[in-house]
Amino acid sequence: MTIQENIVKAGAAPGSLLKNGLTLNDNRNRILKKTTDSGYYGGLTELKFKESDPIGFERIFSKLRAGLVNSREVAKKIAASPIVEQEGELCFTLYNVAGDCICTSTGIIIHVGTMGAAIKYMIQNNWEDNPGISPGDMFTNNDCQIGNVHPCDIMTIVPIFHDGNLIGWVGGVTHVIDVGAVGPGSMSNGQIQRFGDGIQITCRKTGINDTPMRDWLHESQRNVRTPKYWILDEKTRIAGCHMIRDIVEETVVEEGIEAYETFAMEVIEDGRRGLISRIKAMTIPGKYNTVAFVDVPYTHEDVHVPSPFAKVDTIMHAPCTITIKSNATWRLDFEGCSRWGWHTYNANPVAFTSGIWVMMTQTLVPTERINDGARYATEFRMPKGTWTNPDDRRTAHSDAWHFLVSSWSSLWRALSRSYFGRGYLEEVNAGNSNPCNWLQGGGINQEEEIHAVNSFETAACGTGACAVKDGLNHAAAIWNPEGDMGDIEIWELAEPLLYMGRKIKTNTGGYGKYRGGLGFETLRMVWGSADWTMFFMGNGYMNSDWGLMGGYPSATGYRFEAHKTGLLDRIKEGQSLPLGEDRDPDNPDYENHLGPDAIVKRDKQCITTEAIYENGDLYLNYLRGGPGFGDPLDRKIEEVREDLNENFVLPEYAVKVYGVVISQDSEGDWTVDEAKTIARRMAIRKERIARAVPTRKWMEEERGRIMDKKASVQVQQMFASSFFLSEDFLGKFKSFWDLPDDWELKEESLGIPMFGAKHHMDLSELPDVHPVVFCEE
Amino acid sequence: MSTYTKKQVKDLVDGDLDWDTLHKMLSMPKDIERYSNYVSVLQDQVSWDDKIIIPVGPHLYIVETVKDKELVTKCRCGHGFGDYTLNWKLNALVYIRDSEEKMNQVYPKLMAPDTDWQVYREYYCPTCGTMHDVEVPTPWYPVMHDFEPDIKTFFDWVGLPAPVNA
Ligand SMILES: [Zn+2]
């Protein structure tokens, strides 16, 4: 992180908050400088407290960690939103005076760093002078340009004092159901700029004397569609923060302020060392090159956006080079990423540098000790102007996850190569699913109230295959390791949508020696709504995950919706109904149970904007599966038989992909002929050799297509945007394909609008604004 | 620190390890000697004598040749893919699924990528036909060179003498 010294100090009373007499910013700069100079957090070459009194150190850690976890559990009961109360989309984190995370609760721990970024923003922009920081204050933030992931994650931040001195901060975050964006739902699309992305709160002082201010309460609740949930979510955050503040105050009384403050520094250096020792214990040093993509199909007629320059198909491109160094620190370099865009999937560096730990706690650092120390052992590089670090203050972020989860899937593969090489096969994971679809919408609900919905069934997608076992079916999402699909009865209370069925989605797990976990699908019929819209959000034309070491990626998504279904009549007349079981899209079945006038949309357009739904209309929520591991021909015959009998794979694809020779008995049970299967698999290996060509020969053909500029516009736009931002990526591309020096590909040649490509204005250009820089740019 | 027998590591490799032990492997600090046990188990499974240095797939390894102590990538069937610093995929066979029809051999309609956006590239061993990797990039994308290990430092980390040509 860079040191920002030139802040305006007009009227400040330096040192009024800290015992050491420094301003908050000077104090933070001093820590950063000591860290940079020494290579140890805050210059702590020794952990004197931890080493001299390990029991005392652990006692403080345990009190704080238990306090954070417990406060989260208690506070979550206050919320009424099923996103918080059922799905656990909340998190509490404790920070030292510099805004570095000491310890966090369970939950959506991506916010370890996002709330820290907000605290650092207040520190760097002299909040201590104006609006002032006093005991009993509360600050609210959801600004993505400061470091929030998306606007629906609302943070409450409370300073903690002892004897009149600031000793730290506690932050609480909940994922609210609606933020008053152009479209209803917490991660809506349709808006293409910040100005339609919902309410934006920039570290605003929203409470004094432990009480929210009335102007804030009146203003905020009328800016969202779901004020009841909004108010209870805020009470949840405040209650949790205050509980944790009490625990810190008690700890200070019991252990002494000096011990607490020493702990609050040493624990971060300890976290830094912890990551280094895990890297050394589990990985192989070297360079890992990986890449991910996801589709943004905006030319389709069902995508309605306010501005014509957003009507383009684009592709998110996220190459990453991970270098694990000989000193067991590491560097993640995203050179070559594509540009930010006019959609809601942009991220910012903190969403990355903080967010990545929600993934790492599921693999490299599966410990309760995650804090900002890990970040100090990690170098990030997010080139300015890319979707990871926009250089324009107009960008929208409401579903930054669409890009984040897609790009992170490739990081699992890189780490898994390490684990595989060292024999830690139990840690190998082919990657995460693309956790979608996001069922969202709103209008007037079954209670005659203004409402918005965002189904978090997404929290239970299939997981990636391991090198020793299959992925888990309908189990988790990368952003919340404690994922849960939620109870049907609760969702039916929260949404005017009846469940026609909820089933495992056949063929969604990527094939392999070990297959990816399967996703599931729920078919919802609109019921009891007055004026109602819904839309889809997910991947369709592309996969974001790949398989690993011969495994296939998971199935991509598709969309199914039906209008004028005649279902209400069919129910009255006792005719057959679509009951949420549509196993084989080669032979679709839902359509067989609809009236003659039904309008069905069944296609790969998995991003849409608000469409009108009448009672009786259908919406398929299809939650994706995970990628596979290893050559499918290595899958144990017994396991393919089980897949068949559990409806995890369609017989046709078991035959084609797994090479099994099968038969079905009169009861419908499948058996696999072992001898014939072994022979068939030998034959498939020969067929592969016969149909394939040497890679270098294929490269000559592909080179010809590149010379002739033969590729879809969206593919060319992706390359052109990355080339424009990265000489390095362009150079490597030309060198790999052996292209002539004068070969070029410019976005201008594609005949599509390119607003923002050349003309843009960064947040830092606003008067008196000093953004905190968190990574190399 | 937990330790495991070679038999347990073999069961792990074969996918036959009991859940209790597997769970212990997941939840306890890692056993540094795993690497030695692992390559020893794998060495027993191959028919050739070159020394396995880093497994890079279920049937693909960086090995040190007996003859010249060269480090090369090698298939379980014995097929050699060349120097380990080069991308083995460039010496493999490749099959591109770049049409709806070819995708439909693998996934039902609508459940595979649209090939205007993305293709599958399946890399096979030219000798035994094992599928060592499936890439899923856009058309035009350079072949990914997935992994460039620093073998010398790695052997230092696991406390073993490094191959002479690392
Ligand atoms: Zn082979």
Task: Give the Cα separation of A365 and A117 in Å (integer).
Answer: 22
Task: Give me the residue label for tokens 């604004």.
Answer: A769
The radius of gyration of chain B from alpha carbons, rounded to an integer in Å, stands at 19
Residue A360 confidence (pLDDT): 87
Helices (H) and strands (E) in chain A, counts: 19, 23
Nearest CA in chain A to B126: A689
Task: Give the Cα separation of A727 and A717 in Å (integer).
Answer: 16
Calculate mean pLDDT across residues A332-348.
97
Task: Give the Cα separation of A588 and B113 in Å (integer).
Answer: 18
Residue A317 confidence (pLDDT): 98
> Ligand 1 mean position to B134 CA, how many Å?
15
Say if residue A10's pLDDT is above 50.
Answer: no
Instruction: Say if residues A452 and A185 touch (Cβ distance below 8 Å).
Output: yes
Task: Give the Cα separation of A402 and A436 in Å (integer).
Answer: 9
Does residue A129 fall inside a structural domain? yes
Full domain range(s) for residue A163: 59-259
Q: Which amino acid is at A33?
A: K
A36-62 burial: b if 16+ Cβ within 10 Å, else e: eeeebbbbbeebebbeeeeebbebbbe
Calculate mean pLDDT across residues A689-713.
98
> Ligand 1 mean position to A595 CA, how many Å?
55
Task: Report chain A's terminal Cα–Cα distance, integer Å.
Answer: 11
Residue A87 confidence (pLDDT): 77
Residue A368 confidence (pLDDT): 82
pLDDT-based confidence at A11, cuts 50/70/90? very low
Closest residue to A656, CB basis, from B105, B138, B144: B105
Give the 3-state DSSP-derived string for A535-580, with helices as H, strands as E and coil as C: ECCCCCCCCCCCCECCCCCCCCCCEEEEECCCHHHHHHHCCCCCCC
- Environment class of A727 (CB within 10 Å of its CB; exposed 0-12, middle 13-18, buried 19+): exposed
Residue A79 confidence (pLDDT): 85
Does one domain contain both A65 and A140? yes
Does one domain contain both A296 and A325? yes
In angstroms, what CA-CA distances link A605 with A269, A437, A542, B123, B163? 47, 12, 11, 30, 52
> Ligand 1 mean position to B67 CA, how many Å?
20
Q: How do strand A330-333 and strand A378-381 relate by DSSP bridges?
A: parallel
Does one domain contain both A215 and A294? no
Does residue A540 fall inside a structural domain? yes
Phi (first) and psi of residue A71, to 5 degrees: -60, -35
Distance from CA of A51 to the nearest CA of B (A): 21
Mean residue pLDDT of chain A comes to: 95
**B113 part of contact set with chain A, CB < 8 Å:** yes
Closest residue to B147, CB basis, from A288, A291, A696: A288
Residue B155 confidence (pLDDT): 98
pLDDT-based confidence at B102, cuts 50/70/90? very high
Does residue A538 fall inside a structural domain? yes
Number of domains in chain A: 4
Question: Number of CB pairs < 8 Å for A and B?
Answer: 251
Instruction: Say if residues A502 and A520 touch (Cβ distance below 8 Å).
Output: yes
Does one domain contain both A671 and A777? no
Task: Give the Cα separation of A362 and A431 in Å (integer).
Answer: 11
Say if residue B1's pLDDT is above 90.
Answer: no
Mutate to test the interface with A, among B140, B157, B158 (most CBs of A within 10 A): B140
Task: Give the Cα separation of A738 and A702 in Å (integer).
Answer: 11
A231 C-beta neighbours (distance < 10 Å), count: 16
Residues 6 or more apart whose CB falls under 8 angstroms from that of A605 comprise A297, A300, A302, A303, A536, A540, A559
Task: Give the Cα separation of A74 and A90 in Å (integer).
Answer: 12
Say if residue B45's pLDDT is above 90.
Answer: yes
> Tens digits of per-residue pLDDT, A24-66?
999 999 999 999 999 999 999 999 999 999 999 999 999 999 9
Closest residue to B92, CB basis, from A420, A467, A695: A695
Closest residue to A468, CB basis, from B15, B136, B142: B15
Residue A16 confidence (pLDDT): 84
Angle between helices A637-645 and A651-658 (to 10 degrees): 160
| Listed range (A364-373, A500-509, A565-574) with the worst mean pLDDT | A364-373
Does one domain contain both A767 and A618? no
**B37 part of contact set with chain A, CB < 8 Å:** yes
Contact A507 B111 (CB under 8 A): yes
Instruction: Say if residues A49 and A274 touch (Cβ distance below 8 Å).
Output: no
Does one domain contain both A356 and A441? no
Q: Which amino acid is at A403?
A: F
Q: Which H helix or E strand runs over B23? A: helix B19-27
Looking at the DSSP bridge assignments, the partners of residue A158 are A170
A388-398 burial: b if 16+ Cβ within 10 Å, else e: bbbbbbbbbbb
Say if residue A176's pLDDT is above 70.
Answer: yes
The residues spanned by each domain of chain B are: 1-45, 46-158
Q: Which amino acid is at A376?
A: Y
Task: Give the Cα separation of A429 and A416 in Å (integer).
Answer: 6
> Ligand 1 mean position to B87 CA, how many Å?
16
Distance from CA of B41 to the nearest CA of A (A): 10
Retrieve residue A669's tokens. Answer: 């049970």
Note if the bond before A141 is cis, omega within 30 degrees. Answer: no
| Listed range (A28-42, A101-115, A153-167, A276-290) with the worst mean pLDDT | A101-115
Distance from CA of B7 to the nearest CA of A (A): 14
Retrieve residue A504's tokens. Answer: 């495992």
Closest residue to B109, CB basis, from A413, A467, A586: A586
Instruction: Say if residues B91 and A642 touch (Cβ distance below 8 Å).
Output: no
Does residue A23 fall inside a structural domain? no
> Tens digits of per-residue pLDDT, A352-382?
888 888 888 888 988 888 899 999 999 999 9
Mutate to test the interface with A, among B110, B121, B125 (most CBs of A within 10 A): B110
Does residue A332 fall inside a structural domain? yes
Instruction: Say if residues B91 and B63 touch (Cβ distance below 8 Å).
Output: no
- Partners of B60 on chain A (C-beta within 8 Å) are 549
pLDDT-based confidence at A303, cuts 50/70/90? very high
Retrieve residue A27's tokens. Answer: 């104090």
Contact B131 A555 (CB under 8 A): no
Nearest CA in chain A to B11: A468
A258 C-beta neighbours (distance < 10 Å), count: 10
Task: Give the Cα separation of A273 and A468 in Å (integer).
Answer: 30
A596 C-beta neighbours (distance < 10 Å), count: 6
Task: Give the Cα separation of A299 and A308 in Å (integer).
Answer: 10
- Environment class of A513 (CB within 10 Å of its CB; exposed 0-12, middle 13-18, buried 19+): buried
Distance from CA of A295 to the nearest CA of B (A): 8
Q: DSSP readout, A85-133? A: HTT--EEEEEE-TTS-EEEE-SS-TTHHHHHHHHHHHHHHTTTTTTT--
Closest alpha carbon to A206 in A220, A226, A227, A223: A220
DSSP reduced 3-state for A763: helix
DSSP reduced 3-state for A706: helix
- Partners of B150 on chain A (C-beta within 8 Å) are 284-287, 324, 326
Percent of chain A with pLDDT over 90: 88
Calculate mean pLDDT across residues A329-353.
96
Does one domain contain both A464 and A609? yes
> To the nearest 10°, the Cα dihedral for A56, A57, A58, A64?
110
DSSP reduced 3-state for A236: helix
Say if residue A618's pLDDT is above 60.
Answer: yes
Mutate to test the interface with A, among B34, B53, B131, B156 (most CBs of A within 10 A): B131
Does residue A94 fall inside a structural domain? yes
Contact A695 B13 (CB under 8 A): no
Task: Give the Cα separation of A264 and A96 in Å (integer).
Answer: 6
Residue A444 confidence (pLDDT): 94
Does residue A266 fall inside a structural domain? no
**B1 part of contact set with chain A, CB < 8 Å:** no
Does residue A132 fall inside a structural domain? yes
> Ligand 1 mean position to B77 CA, how many Å?
4
Task: Give the Cα separation of A689 and A682 in Å (integer).
Answer: 11
Phi (first) and psi of residue A470, to 5 degrees: -70, 160
Task: Give the Cα separation of A647 and B90 in Å (integer).
Answer: 38
Does one domain contain both A357 and A452? no
What is the layout of strands, in order, in the sheet containing B71-75? B51-57, B60-64, B71-75, B80-83
Retrieve residue A80's tokens. Answer: 């009424």
Contact A698 B124 (CB under 8 A): no
Mutate to test the interface with B, among A316, A329, A715, A733 (most CBs of B within 10 A): A715
The radius of gyration of chain A from alpha carbons, rounded to an integer in Å, stands at 27
